[in-house]
Structure 1
Protein backbone atom coordinates (compact mmCIF):
# COMPACT_ATOMS: atom_id res chain seq x y z
CA UNK A 1 0.00 0.00 0.00
CA UNK A 2 1.50 3.30 -1.04
CA UNK A 3 1.70 6.49 1.00
CA UNK A 4 0.87 4.75 4.32
CA UNK A 5 -2.78 4.24 3.30
CA UNK A 6 -4.50 1.27 4.95
CA UNK A 7 -6.78 -0.69 2.62
CA UNK A 8 -9.99 -1.89 4.28
CA UNK A 9 -12.82 -3.96 2.78
CA UNK A 10 -16.11 -4.12 4.68
CA UNK A 11 -17.93 -7.33 3.75
CA UNK A 12 -21.64 -7.68 4.42
CA UNK A 13 -24.70 -9.24 2.81
CA UNK A 14 -27.53 -11.69 3.27
CA UNK A 15 -27.09 -14.73 5.48
CA UNK A 16 -26.34 -17.72 3.28
CA UNK A 17 -25.21 -15.60 0.32
CA UNK A 18 -21.51 -16.44 0.75
CA UNK A 19 -19.95 -13.86 3.10
CA UNK A 20 -17.94 -16.51 4.95
CA UNK A 21 -16.56 -17.83 1.66
CA UNK A 22 -15.53 -14.31 0.68
CA UNK A 23 -13.69 -13.73 3.96
CA UNK A 24 -11.93 -17.11 3.85
CA UNK A 25 -10.78 -16.46 0.28
CA UNK A 26 -9.50 -13.00 1.22
CA UNK A 27 -7.57 -14.55 4.11
CA UNK A 28 -6.00 -17.02 1.67
CA UNK A 29 -4.97 -14.06 -0.49
CA UNK A 30 -3.04 -12.47 2.37
CA UNK A 31 -5.72 -10.21 3.83
CA UNK A 32 -6.29 -10.00 7.57
CA UNK A 33 -9.93 -11.09 7.91
CA UNK A 34 -12.26 -10.74 10.90
CA UNK A 35 -15.88 -11.95 10.79
CA UNK A 36 -18.88 -10.67 12.81
CA UNK A 37 -16.98 -7.51 13.66
CA UNK A 38 -18.94 -4.58 15.17
CA UNK A 39 -18.13 -1.68 12.86
CA UNK A 40 -18.45 0.74 15.80
CA UNK A 41 -15.21 -0.81 17.11
CA UNK A 42 -13.36 -0.17 13.85
CA UNK A 43 -12.07 3.24 14.94
CA UNK A 44 -10.31 2.04 18.13
CA UNK A 45 -9.00 -1.02 16.26
CA UNK A 46 -7.46 1.11 13.54
CA UNK A 47 -5.88 3.41 16.11
CA UNK A 48 -3.92 0.53 17.65
CA UNK A 49 -0.27 0.34 16.56
CA UNK A 50 0.58 -2.92 14.73
CA UNK A 51 2.74 -5.48 16.51
CA UNK A 52 5.04 -5.55 13.50
CA UNK A 53 5.13 -2.09 11.92
CA UNK A 54 6.37 -3.39 8.57
CA UNK A 55 4.16 -6.41 7.90
CA UNK A 56 0.84 -5.71 9.62
CA UNK A 57 0.64 -2.04 8.69
CA UNK A 58 0.75 -2.96 5.00
CA UNK A 59 -1.63 -5.92 5.30
CA UNK A 60 -5.12 -5.09 3.94
CA UNK A 61 -7.97 -5.68 6.36
CA UNK A 62 -11.37 -7.31 5.69
CA UNK A 63 -14.12 -6.86 8.28
CA UNK A 64 -17.25 -9.00 8.00
CA UNK A 65 -20.58 -8.04 9.53
CA UNK A 66 -24.28 -8.72 8.93
CA UNK A 67 -27.68 -8.67 10.63
CA UNK A 68 -26.39 -11.01 13.37
CA UNK A 69 -23.67 -8.57 14.43
CA UNK A 70 -24.31 -7.01 17.83
CA UNK A 71 -25.73 -3.51 17.58
CA UNK A 72 -26.54 -3.86 13.87
CA UNK A 73 -28.33 -0.72 12.66
CA UNK A 74 -27.79 0.05 8.94
CA UNK A 75 -28.25 3.83 9.20
CA UNK A 76 -25.77 4.15 12.07
CA UNK A 77 -23.31 1.81 10.35
CA UNK A 78 -23.37 3.85 7.15
CA UNK A 79 -22.82 7.04 9.14
CA UNK A 80 -19.88 5.45 10.99
CA UNK A 81 -18.33 4.24 7.74
CA UNK A 82 -18.69 7.69 6.18
CA UNK A 83 -16.80 9.16 9.12
CA UNK A 84 -14.01 6.61 8.74
CA UNK A 85 -13.79 7.37 5.01
CA UNK A 86 -12.83 10.95 5.82
CA UNK A 87 -9.51 9.77 7.20
CA UNK A 88 -6.71 10.30 4.64
CA UNK A 89 -4.83 7.24 5.92
CA UNK A 90 -7.70 4.84 5.09
CA UNK A 91 -9.03 3.47 1.80
CA UNK A 92 -12.40 1.92 2.65
CA UNK A 93 -14.65 -0.05 0.29
CA UNK A 94 -17.90 -1.90 1.06
CA UNK A 95 -18.82 -5.22 -0.60
CA UNK A 96 -22.38 -6.57 -0.39
CA UNK A 97 -22.92 -10.28 -1.09
CA UNK A 98 -26.45 -10.80 -2.42
CA UNK A 99 -28.43 -13.87 -3.52
CA UNK A 100 -31.95 -14.73 -4.67
CA UNK A 101 -34.28 -15.75 -1.86
CA UNK A 102 -35.17 -19.12 -3.40
CA UNK A 103 -31.49 -20.04 -3.69
CA UNK A 104 -30.75 -19.03 -0.09
CA UNK A 105 -33.75 -21.10 1.02
CA UNK A 106 -32.38 -24.09 -0.93
CA UNK A 107 -28.96 -23.70 0.69
CA UNK A 108 -30.44 -23.65 4.19
CA UNK A 109 -32.57 -26.70 3.42
CA UNK A 110 -29.52 -28.52 2.04
CA UNK A 111 -27.40 -27.82 5.14
CA UNK A 112 -30.37 -28.25 7.56
CA UNK A 113 -29.38 -25.03 9.29
CA UNK A 114 -31.89 -22.49 10.55
CA UNK A 115 -31.94 -18.95 9.24
CA UNK A 116 -30.78 -16.58 12.03
CA UNK A 117 -33.94 -14.45 11.70
CA UNK A 118 -36.32 -17.42 11.43
CA UNK A 119 -35.49 -19.79 14.26
CA UNK A 120 -39.11 -20.87 14.70
CA UNK A 121 -40.51 -19.95 11.26
CA UNK A 122 -39.92 -20.98 7.63
CA UNK A 123 -36.55 -19.80 6.33
CA UNK A 124 -38.17 -17.74 3.57
CA UNK A 125 -39.75 -15.47 6.24
CA UNK A 126 -36.36 -14.70 7.76
CA UNK A 127 -34.83 -14.17 4.31
CA UNK A 128 -37.50 -11.60 3.42
CA UNK A 129 -37.11 -9.82 6.77
CA UNK A 130 -33.33 -9.68 6.42
CA UNK A 131 -33.50 -8.41 2.83
CA UNK A 132 -35.64 -5.47 3.97
CA UNK A 133 -33.31 -4.79 6.87
CA UNK A 134 -30.18 -4.90 4.68
CA UNK A 135 -31.57 -2.90 1.73
CA UNK A 136 -29.98 0.45 2.77
CA UNK A 137 -26.54 -1.18 2.93
CA UNK A 138 -27.02 -2.91 -0.41
CA UNK A 139 -27.99 0.34 -2.08
CA UNK A 140 -25.05 2.17 -0.52
CA UNK A 141 -22.31 -0.44 -1.06
CA UNK A 142 -19.51 0.18 -3.57
CA UNK A 143 -19.71 -3.34 -5.01
CA UNK A 144 -22.50 -5.95 -5.10
CA UNK A 145 -21.80 -9.58 -6.00
CA UNK A 146 -24.88 -11.72 -6.69
CA UNK A 147 -24.11 -15.38 -5.95
CA UNK A 148 -27.49 -16.77 -7.06
CA UNK A 149 -25.91 -18.68 -9.95
CA UNK A 150 -22.47 -19.12 -8.43
CA UNK A 151 -20.98 -22.20 -6.85
CA UNK A 152 -18.56 -21.74 -3.95
CA UNK A 153 -15.66 -22.21 -6.36
CA UNK A 154 -17.13 -19.59 -8.72
CA UNK A 155 -17.32 -17.11 -5.85
CA UNK A 156 -13.77 -17.90 -4.75
CA UNK A 157 -12.52 -17.29 -8.29
CA UNK A 158 -14.40 -13.98 -8.45
CA UNK A 159 -12.86 -12.80 -5.18
CA UNK A 160 -9.38 -13.93 -6.22
CA UNK A 161 -9.71 -12.01 -9.47
CA UNK A 162 -10.98 -8.83 -7.84
CA UNK A 163 -9.03 -8.67 -4.60
CA UNK A 164 -5.69 -10.38 -4.94
CA UNK A 165 -2.98 -8.05 -3.73
CA UNK A 166 -2.06 -5.62 -6.50
CA UNK A 167 1.21 -5.80 -8.43
CA UNK A 168 0.69 -2.42 -10.12
CA UNK A 169 -1.10 -3.75 -13.21
CA UNK A 170 -4.74 -4.21 -14.08
CA UNK A 171 -6.02 -7.74 -13.45
CA UNK A 172 -7.64 -9.29 -16.54
CA UNK A 173 -9.81 -12.40 -16.27
CA UNK A 174 -11.01 -14.36 -19.30
CA UNK A 175 -13.95 -16.72 -18.90
CA UNK A 176 -15.50 -19.09 -21.44
CA UNK A 177 -19.11 -20.07 -20.84
CA UNK A 178 -22.30 -21.45 -22.35
CA UNK A 179 -25.27 -19.12 -22.77
CA UNK A 180 -27.56 -22.11 -22.17
CA UNK A 181 -26.10 -22.37 -18.68
CA UNK A 182 -26.27 -18.68 -17.81
CA UNK A 183 -24.16 -15.57 -18.38
CA UNK A 184 -21.28 -14.88 -15.93
CA UNK A 185 -22.82 -12.39 -13.47
CA UNK A 186 -19.82 -10.09 -13.14
CA UNK A 187 -18.42 -9.91 -16.68
CA UNK A 188 -17.49 -6.42 -17.88
CA UNK A 189 -17.41 -7.37 -21.58
CA UNK A 190 -19.19 -10.30 -23.27
CA UNK A 191 -18.65 -11.60 -26.80
CA UNK A 192 -21.26 -13.93 -28.30
CA UNK A 193 -19.61 -16.58 -30.55
CA UNK A 194 -22.75 -18.47 -31.53
CA UNK A 195 -22.42 -17.17 -35.11
CA UNK A 196 -19.51 -19.60 -35.65
CA UNK A 197 -20.08 -23.13 -36.93
CA UNK A 198 -20.74 -25.49 -34.03
CA UNK A 199 -18.43 -28.52 -33.52
CA UNK A 200 -21.13 -30.16 -31.38
CA UNK A 201 -22.87 -31.33 -34.55
CA UNK A 202 -19.78 -33.13 -35.86
CA UNK A 203 -19.78 -36.64 -34.40
CA UNK A 204 -15.99 -36.92 -34.09
CA UNK A 205 -15.69 -33.48 -32.48
CA UNK A 206 -18.67 -33.62 -30.15
CA UNK A 207 -16.92 -35.40 -27.24
CA UNK A 208 -13.86 -33.15 -27.56
CA UNK A 209 -13.44 -29.56 -26.30
CA UNK A 210 -11.97 -26.31 -27.54
CA UNK A 211 -8.64 -27.37 -26.04
CA UNK A 212 -8.32 -30.09 -28.70
CA UNK A 213 -6.57 -29.25 -31.97
CA UNK A 214 -9.26 -30.76 -34.19
CA UNK A 215 -11.95 -28.56 -32.63
CA UNK A 216 -9.81 -25.46 -33.02
CA UNK A 217 -9.13 -26.19 -36.68
CA UNK A 218 -12.85 -26.68 -37.33
CA UNK A 219 -13.83 -23.40 -35.61
CA UNK A 220 -11.04 -21.46 -37.31
CA UNK A 221 -12.15 -22.76 -40.72
CA UNK A 222 -15.42 -20.85 -40.46
CA UNK A 223 -15.30 -18.00 -43.06
CA UNK A 224 -16.48 -15.54 -40.39
CA UNK A 225 -13.77 -16.49 -37.89
CA UNK A 226 -10.81 -14.43 -39.10
CA UNK A 227 -12.66 -11.14 -39.51
CA UNK A 228 -14.44 -11.48 -36.16
CA UNK A 229 -11.28 -12.28 -34.24
CA UNK A 230 -9.45 -9.39 -35.85
CA UNK A 231 -12.18 -6.91 -34.92
CA UNK A 232 -12.53 -8.20 -31.35
CA UNK A 233 -8.73 -8.00 -30.97
CA UNK A 234 -8.69 -4.41 -32.17
CA UNK A 235 -11.48 -3.51 -29.76
CA UNK A 236 -9.84 -5.13 -26.72
CA UNK A 237 -6.42 -3.67 -27.42
CA UNK A 238 -8.08 -0.26 -27.74
CA UNK A 239 -10.20 -0.55 -24.59
CA UNK A 240 -7.81 -2.17 -22.11
CA UNK A 241 -5.32 0.74 -21.97
CA UNK A 242 -8.25 3.13 -21.54
CA UNK A 243 -9.60 1.09 -18.62
CA UNK A 244 -6.13 1.00 -17.08
CA UNK A 245 -5.69 4.75 -17.51
CA UNK A 246 -8.95 5.30 -15.60
CA UNK A 247 -7.62 3.23 -12.70
CA UNK A 248 -9.86 0.20 -13.27
CA UNK A 249 -8.16 -2.59 -11.30
CA UNK A 250 -10.11 -5.58 -12.64
CA UNK A 251 -11.63 -6.44 -16.02
CA UNK A 252 -13.52 -9.68 -16.71
CA UNK A 253 -14.07 -10.62 -20.36
CA UNK A 254 -16.52 -13.38 -21.26
CA UNK A 255 -16.60 -15.43 -24.46
CA UNK A 256 -19.80 -17.42 -24.86
CA UNK A 257 -21.14 -20.10 -27.17
CA UNK A 258 -24.19 -22.31 -26.67
CA UNK A 259 -22.84 -25.06 -24.43
CA UNK A 260 -19.53 -23.54 -23.35
CA UNK A 261 -17.34 -26.48 -24.38
CA UNK A 262 -16.09 -25.83 -27.93
CA UNK A 263 -16.12 -22.41 -29.61
CA UNK A 264 -15.89 -20.27 -26.49
CA UNK A 265 -13.04 -22.36 -25.06
CA UNK A 266 -10.99 -22.20 -28.26
CA UNK A 267 -11.47 -18.44 -28.68
CA UNK A 268 -10.72 -17.75 -25.00
CA UNK A 269 -7.42 -19.60 -25.33
CA UNK A 270 -6.64 -17.63 -28.48
CA UNK A 271 -7.21 -14.30 -26.72
CA UNK A 272 -5.24 -15.44 -23.69
CA UNK A 273 -2.23 -15.98 -25.97
CA UNK A 274 -2.83 -12.67 -27.75
CA UNK A 275 -2.99 -10.67 -24.51
CA UNK A 276 0.14 -12.36 -23.17
CA UNK A 277 1.95 -11.29 -26.34
CA UNK A 278 0.82 -7.73 -25.59
CA UNK A 279 2.32 -7.85 -22.10
CA UNK A 280 -0.80 -8.66 -20.06
CA UNK A 281 -1.11 -11.67 -17.74
CA UNK A 282 -4.76 -12.79 -17.96
CA UNK A 283 -6.20 -15.57 -15.83
CA UNK A 284 -8.41 -18.08 -17.66
CA UNK A 285 -11.50 -19.90 -16.39
CA UNK A 286 -13.35 -22.36 -18.64
CA UNK A 287 -16.56 -22.43 -16.64
CA UNK A 288 -18.46 -25.14 -18.53
CA UNK A 289 -15.56 -27.13 -19.98
CA UNK A 290 -16.40 -30.32 -18.09
CA UNK A 291 -20.18 -30.22 -18.44
CA UNK A 292 -21.95 -33.00 -20.33
CA UNK A 293 -22.76 -32.26 -24.01
CA UNK A 294 -26.56 -32.08 -24.35
CA UNK A 295 -28.33 -31.91 -27.72
CA UNK A 296 -31.34 -30.09 -26.27
CA UNK A 297 -29.14 -27.21 -25.11
CA UNK A 298 -27.31 -26.96 -28.42
CA UNK A 299 -30.61 -26.73 -30.34
CA UNK A 300 -31.24 -23.36 -28.72
CA UNK A 301 -31.08 -20.68 -31.41
CA UNK A 302 -31.61 -23.16 -34.23
CA UNK A 303 -34.90 -23.10 -36.12
CA UNK A 304 -34.45 -26.72 -37.06
CA UNK A 305 -32.39 -29.47 -35.49
CA UNK A 306 -28.98 -29.79 -37.23
CA UNK A 307 -28.04 -33.21 -38.50
CA UNK A 308 -24.91 -34.92 -37.24
CA UNK A 309 -22.05 -34.89 -39.74
CA UNK A 310 -20.25 -38.22 -39.61
Structure 2
Protein backbone atom coordinates (compact mmCIF):
# COMPACT_ATOMS: atom_id res chain seq x y z
CA UNK A 1 0.00 0.00 0.00
CA UNK A 2 1.36 3.41 -0.99
CA UNK A 3 2.07 5.89 1.78
CA UNK A 4 -0.41 8.74 2.16
CA UNK A 5 1.42 12.00 2.91
CA UNK A 6 0.27 15.40 4.14
CA UNK A 7 2.91 18.13 4.27
CA UNK A 8 2.13 21.09 6.53
CA UNK A 9 4.12 24.22 5.86
CA UNK A 10 3.58 27.95 6.25
CA UNK A 11 4.44 31.01 8.24
CA UNK A 12 5.91 30.79 11.74
CA UNK A 13 3.11 31.52 14.19
CA UNK A 14 0.35 30.52 11.77
CA UNK A 15 -0.72 27.40 13.68
CA UNK A 16 1.24 24.53 12.13
CA UNK A 17 1.52 22.70 15.45
CA UNK A 18 -2.27 22.85 15.85
CA UNK A 19 -2.74 21.45 12.33
CA UNK A 20 -0.28 18.66 13.10
CA UNK A 21 -2.29 17.79 16.23
CA UNK A 22 -5.44 17.57 14.09
CA UNK A 23 -3.73 15.09 11.80
CA UNK A 24 -2.41 13.09 14.73
CA UNK A 25 -5.97 12.86 16.09
CA UNK A 26 -7.05 11.63 12.63
CA UNK A 27 -4.62 8.70 12.79
CA UNK A 28 -1.58 10.14 11.00
CA UNK A 29 1.96 9.45 12.12
CA UNK A 30 3.32 12.98 12.58
CA UNK A 31 6.86 14.32 12.25
CA UNK A 32 7.75 17.93 12.99
CA UNK A 33 10.62 19.76 11.25
CA UNK A 34 11.93 16.90 9.11
CA UNK A 35 14.92 18.17 7.04
CA UNK A 36 14.02 18.14 3.31
CA UNK A 37 17.03 16.01 2.43
CA UNK A 38 15.60 13.21 4.61
CA UNK A 39 12.14 13.30 3.00
CA UNK A 40 12.66 10.74 0.25
CA UNK A 41 14.55 8.21 2.43
CA UNK A 42 11.87 8.57 5.08
CA UNK A 43 9.04 7.93 2.60
CA UNK A 44 10.94 4.97 1.12
CA UNK A 45 11.24 3.47 4.60
CA UNK A 46 7.52 3.95 5.22
CA UNK A 47 6.68 2.27 1.90
CA UNK A 48 8.68 -0.78 3.02
CA UNK A 49 6.49 -0.89 6.09
CA UNK A 50 3.47 -1.31 3.76
CA UNK A 51 2.62 2.37 4.04
CA UNK A 52 0.61 4.41 6.47
CA UNK A 53 -0.78 7.90 6.80
CA UNK A 54 2.06 10.36 7.39
CA UNK A 55 1.99 14.07 8.23
CA UNK A 56 5.17 16.14 8.17
CA UNK A 57 5.66 19.78 9.17
CA UNK A 58 8.41 21.55 7.21
CA UNK A 59 9.24 25.26 7.23
CA UNK A 60 12.03 27.84 7.44
CA UNK A 61 13.61 25.99 10.34
CA UNK A 62 15.06 23.73 7.63
CA UNK A 63 17.40 26.57 6.71
CA UNK A 64 19.44 26.30 3.51
CA UNK A 65 17.86 22.99 2.46
CA UNK A 66 14.34 24.50 2.18
CA UNK A 67 14.65 25.39 -1.57
CA UNK A 68 15.01 21.66 -2.31
CA UNK A 69 11.50 20.94 -1.01
CA UNK A 70 9.30 21.86 -4.05
CA UNK A 71 11.36 19.63 -6.37
CA UNK A 72 11.37 16.78 -3.85
CA UNK A 73 7.60 16.98 -3.43
CA UNK A 74 7.07 17.00 -7.19
CA UNK A 75 9.22 13.88 -7.47
CA UNK A 76 7.06 12.11 -4.88
CA UNK A 77 3.90 13.18 -6.68
CA UNK A 78 5.28 11.94 -10.00
CA UNK A 79 5.78 8.53 -8.38
CA UNK A 80 2.06 8.41 -7.67
CA UNK A 81 2.27 9.21 -3.97
CA UNK A 82 -0.98 10.42 -2.42
CA UNK A 83 0.18 13.91 -1.43
CA UNK A 84 -1.57 16.92 0.10
CA UNK A 85 0.32 20.16 0.64
CA UNK A 86 -1.26 22.60 3.10
CA UNK A 87 0.14 26.08 3.70
CA UNK A 88 -0.94 27.98 6.83
CA UNK A 89 -0.82 31.76 6.58
CA UNK A 90 -1.89 34.78 8.60
CA UNK A 91 -1.70 38.53 8.24
CA UNK A 92 1.46 40.32 9.29
CA UNK A 93 -0.49 42.07 12.06
CA UNK A 94 -1.73 38.73 13.40
CA UNK A 95 1.74 37.16 13.32
CA UNK A 96 3.29 40.11 15.14
CA UNK A 97 0.56 39.96 17.79
CA UNK A 98 1.02 36.22 18.30
CA UNK A 99 4.78 36.49 18.70
CA UNK A 100 4.31 39.40 21.11
CA UNK A 101 1.79 37.47 23.18
CA UNK A 102 3.92 34.33 23.43
CA UNK A 103 7.25 36.24 23.68
CA UNK A 104 8.84 33.67 21.39
CA UNK A 105 11.55 34.60 18.91
CA UNK A 106 10.92 34.24 15.21
CA UNK A 107 13.22 31.54 13.70
CA UNK A 108 14.74 34.04 11.28
CA UNK A 109 15.36 36.67 13.95
CA UNK A 110 18.45 34.65 14.84
CA UNK A 111 19.94 35.42 11.44
CA UNK A 112 21.30 38.98 11.59
CA UNK A 113 21.02 41.48 8.77
CA UNK A 114 23.81 43.83 7.69
CA UNK A 115 23.23 45.89 10.82
CA UNK A 116 23.56 42.85 13.04
CA UNK A 117 19.87 42.23 13.80
CA UNK A 118 16.44 41.40 12.37
CA UNK A 119 13.30 43.13 13.52
CA UNK A 120 10.25 40.89 13.79
CA UNK A 121 8.63 42.48 10.73
CA UNK A 122 11.82 42.04 8.70
CA UNK A 123 11.92 38.37 9.69
CA UNK A 124 8.28 37.88 8.65
CA UNK A 125 8.83 39.53 5.27
CA UNK A 126 11.97 37.46 4.66
CA UNK A 127 10.06 34.30 5.54
CA UNK A 128 7.33 35.19 3.04
CA UNK A 129 9.96 35.48 0.32
CA UNK A 130 11.51 32.12 1.21
CA UNK A 131 8.14 30.33 1.26
CA UNK A 132 6.63 31.99 -1.81
CA UNK A 133 7.13 29.00 -4.12
CA UNK A 134 5.66 26.54 -1.63
CA UNK A 135 2.66 28.78 -1.07
CA UNK A 136 1.92 28.84 -4.80
CA UNK A 137 1.87 25.01 -4.89
CA UNK A 138 -0.30 24.53 -1.78
CA UNK A 139 -3.81 24.84 -0.50
CA UNK A 140 -3.69 27.94 1.70
CA UNK A 141 -5.56 28.23 5.00
CA UNK A 142 -5.75 31.74 6.43
CA UNK A 143 -5.65 31.38 10.23
CA UNK A 144 -5.80 35.11 11.02
CA UNK A 145 -9.34 34.87 12.39
CA UNK A 146 -9.43 31.17 13.33
CA UNK A 147 -9.46 29.87 16.86
CA UNK A 148 -7.62 26.57 17.48
CA UNK A 149 -10.83 24.52 17.40
CA UNK A 150 -11.78 26.05 14.05
CA UNK A 151 -8.39 25.29 12.53
CA UNK A 152 -8.61 21.72 13.80
CA UNK A 153 -12.01 21.34 12.13
CA UNK A 154 -10.82 22.91 8.85
CA UNK A 155 -7.86 20.54 8.55
CA UNK A 156 -9.95 17.49 9.39
CA UNK A 157 -12.56 18.48 6.78
CA UNK A 158 -9.87 18.74 4.11
CA UNK A 159 -8.14 15.43 4.78
CA UNK A 160 -11.47 13.59 4.96
CA UNK A 161 -11.96 14.15 1.22
CA UNK A 162 -10.48 11.84 -1.47
CA UNK A 163 -7.34 13.18 -3.12
CA UNK A 164 -8.21 12.08 -6.65
CA UNK A 165 -10.50 15.01 -7.41
CA UNK A 166 -10.21 18.77 -7.26
CA UNK A 167 -11.92 20.19 -4.16
CA UNK A 168 -13.86 23.43 -4.48
CA UNK A 169 -13.95 25.55 -1.31
CA UNK A 170 -16.53 28.35 -1.01
CA UNK A 171 -15.85 30.82 1.80
CA UNK A 172 -17.78 33.84 3.09
CA UNK A 173 -16.09 36.70 4.94
CA UNK A 174 -16.57 40.29 6.13
CA UNK A 175 -14.63 43.08 4.47
CA UNK A 176 -14.84 45.07 7.71
CA UNK A 177 -12.60 42.45 9.36
CA UNK A 178 -10.13 42.21 6.49
CA UNK A 179 -9.76 40.32 3.23
CA UNK A 180 -9.15 36.60 3.52
CA UNK A 181 -5.66 35.49 2.48
CA UNK A 182 -6.52 32.03 1.19
CA UNK A 183 -8.72 32.88 -1.81
CA UNK A 184 -7.84 31.91 -5.37
CA UNK A 185 -10.78 34.04 -6.55
CA UNK A 186 -12.48 36.78 -4.55
CA UNK A 187 -15.82 38.46 -5.27
CA UNK A 188 -17.06 41.66 -3.61
CA UNK A 189 -20.88 41.63 -3.20
CA UNK A 190 -21.27 44.71 -1.01
CA UNK A 191 -23.27 46.46 -3.76
CA UNK A 192 -26.15 43.99 -3.44
CA UNK A 193 -29.35 44.66 -1.43
CA UNK A 194 -28.52 44.21 2.25
CA UNK A 195 -30.86 42.35 4.65
CA UNK A 196 -29.09 44.18 7.50
CA UNK A 197 -31.39 47.14 6.88
CA UNK A 198 -34.50 45.02 7.39
CA UNK A 199 -35.15 44.98 11.18
CA UNK A 200 -36.65 41.48 11.15
CA UNK A 201 -33.73 40.07 9.15
CA UNK A 202 -30.85 41.83 10.87
CA UNK A 203 -30.21 39.20 13.60
CA UNK A 204 -30.50 36.30 11.13
CA UNK A 205 -27.94 34.88 8.69
CA UNK A 206 -27.85 33.88 5.05
CA UNK A 207 -28.71 30.33 6.08
CA UNK A 208 -32.05 31.34 7.62
CA UNK A 209 -35.15 30.97 5.44
CA UNK A 210 -36.47 34.57 5.80
CA UNK A 211 -33.11 35.92 4.57
CA UNK A 212 -33.03 33.32 1.78
CA UNK A 213 -36.52 34.37 0.68
CA UNK A 214 -35.53 38.05 0.73
CA UNK A 215 -32.39 37.51 -1.36
CA UNK A 216 -34.11 35.04 -3.71
CA UNK A 217 -36.45 37.89 -4.66
CA UNK A 218 -33.66 40.36 -5.52
CA UNK A 219 -32.79 40.37 -9.27
CA UNK A 220 -29.26 41.82 -8.70
CA UNK A 221 -28.49 39.02 -6.25
CA UNK A 222 -29.62 36.37 -8.71
CA UNK A 223 -27.59 37.98 -11.50
CA UNK A 224 -24.47 37.97 -9.27
CA UNK A 225 -25.07 34.31 -8.38
CA UNK A 226 -25.44 33.39 -12.04
CA UNK A 227 -22.32 35.29 -13.12
CA UNK A 228 -20.09 33.88 -10.37
CA UNK A 229 -21.35 30.37 -11.12
CA UNK A 230 -20.68 30.86 -14.84
CA UNK A 231 -17.12 32.05 -14.13
CA UNK A 232 -16.35 29.12 -11.84
CA UNK A 233 -17.99 26.62 -14.18
CA UNK A 234 -15.99 27.94 -17.15
CA UNK A 235 -12.57 27.68 -15.52
CA UNK A 236 -12.82 24.66 -13.21
CA UNK A 237 -12.04 22.07 -15.92
CA UNK A 238 -8.86 23.94 -16.86
CA UNK A 239 -7.85 24.17 -13.21
CA UNK A 240 -8.43 20.45 -12.78
CA UNK A 241 -6.29 19.70 -15.86
CA UNK A 242 -3.57 21.84 -14.28
CA UNK A 243 -3.50 19.31 -11.41
CA UNK A 244 -4.88 21.72 -8.84
CA UNK A 245 -5.99 19.95 -5.67
CA UNK A 246 -8.03 22.82 -4.22
CA UNK A 247 -9.65 26.01 -5.50
CA UNK A 248 -10.97 28.53 -2.98
CA UNK A 249 -13.65 31.02 -4.02
CA UNK A 250 -14.22 33.75 -1.43
CA UNK A 251 -17.36 35.90 -1.30
CA UNK A 252 -17.19 39.05 0.79
CA UNK A 253 -19.88 41.42 2.04
CA UNK A 254 -19.76 44.06 4.76
CA UNK A 255 -20.48 41.92 7.80
CA UNK A 256 -20.08 38.37 6.48
CA UNK A 257 -23.51 37.46 7.81
CA UNK A 258 -26.17 37.70 5.10
CA UNK A 259 -25.27 38.17 1.41
CA UNK A 260 -21.94 36.36 1.31
CA UNK A 261 -23.27 33.47 3.40
CA UNK A 262 -26.33 33.14 1.15
CA UNK A 263 -24.19 33.06 -2.00
CA UNK A 264 -21.73 30.53 -0.57
CA UNK A 265 -24.58 28.20 0.35
CA UNK A 266 -26.16 28.57 -3.10
CA UNK A 267 -22.88 28.02 -4.94
CA UNK A 268 -21.95 24.99 -2.86
CA UNK A 269 -25.34 23.47 -3.66
CA UNK A 270 -24.96 24.23 -7.38
CA UNK A 271 -21.55 22.58 -7.67
CA UNK A 272 -21.91 19.85 -5.05
CA UNK A 273 -23.23 17.20 -7.43
CA UNK A 274 -20.30 17.45 -9.84
CA UNK A 275 -17.34 18.52 -7.67
CA UNK A 276 -16.15 17.90 -4.14
CA UNK A 277 -17.16 21.02 -2.25
CA UNK A 278 -16.56 22.51 1.17
CA UNK A 279 -18.20 25.61 2.59
CA UNK A 280 -16.74 27.92 5.21
CA UNK A 281 -18.29 30.95 6.89
CA UNK A 282 -15.44 32.83 8.53
CA UNK A 283 -17.52 35.20 10.62
CA UNK A 284 -20.28 32.74 11.53
CA UNK A 285 -17.76 30.09 12.52
CA UNK A 286 -16.05 32.61 14.82
CA UNK A 287 -19.37 33.60 16.38
CA UNK A 288 -20.47 30.02 16.97
CA UNK A 289 -17.19 28.64 18.33
- TM-score using structure 1 length: 0.70
For residues 146 and 241 of structure 1, do their structure 2 counterparts lie closer, same or farther at Cα, with a shift above 3 Å needed? Answer: closer
Kept in 1, the 8 Å contact 2:30–2:54? The answer is yes
- Equivalent position of 1:137 in the other structure: 130
Paired residues of 1:8 and 1:93 also in contact (CA < 8 A): yes
Q: Which has the higher helix share?
A: 2
1:287 to 256, 265, 282: 282
C-alpha deviation, 1:147, in angstroms = 4.4
Larger Rg: 1
Is the CA contact (8 Å cut-off) linking 1:84 and 1:90 kept in structure 2? no
**Which of 58, 64, 71 pairs up with 2:57?**
64
1:264 equivalent in structure 2: 260
Please give the alpha-carbon distance, in whole angstroms, between the structure 2 residues aligned to 1:287 and 1:248.
23
Residues 219-263 of structure 1 show CA distances to partners (whole Å, capped at 9, x for unaligned) of 222232333333333333333333333332212122222111111
Structure 1 residues 251, 139: CA separation in 2 closer, same or farther (over 3 Å shift)?
Answer: closer
The list of structure 1 runs, each at least 4 consecutive aligned residues, that deviate by more than 6 angstroms after superposition, is none
Residue in structure 2 matched with residue 197 of structure 1 by the alignment? 193
Kindly provide the CA deviation profile for residues 20-44 of structure 1, in whole angstroms up to 9, marking residues without a partner as x: 1232234345543200323343344
Map 1:145-156 to 2 at 5 A: 145=140, 147=142, 149-153=144-148, 155-156=151-152
Could you tell me which runs of 5 or more consecutive residues in structure 1 were left unpaired when the two chains were aligned: 293-310
The number of residues matched between the two structures is: 276
1-side partners of 2:74 and 2:224: how far apart? 45
Over the aligned positions, Cα root-mean-square deviation in angstroms equals 3.7
Change (3 A) 1:43 1:29: same
Following TM superposition, by how much is the alpha carbon of 1:108 offset from its aligned partner in structure 2, in angstroms?
A: 2.8
Structure 1 contact 96–137 (Cα < 8 Å) conserved: no
SS of alignment partner, residue 283 of structure 1: strand
C-alpha distance in 1 between matches for 2:145 and 2:97: 13
- Please tell me whether the aligned partners of residues 179 and 259 of structure 1 are also in contact (alpha carbons under 8 angstroms): yes
CA gap 1:10/1:97 in 2 versus in 1, 3 angstroms: same
What's the CA shift string for 1:130-152, capped at 9, x where partnerless? 754x4663144233847473424
TM-score (norm 2): 0.74
Superposed displacement of residue 65, structure 1: 3.8
Tell me the secondary structure at the aligned position of residue 34 of structure 2: coil
State the alpha-carbon separation in 2 of the partners of residues 174 and 43 from structure 1: 34
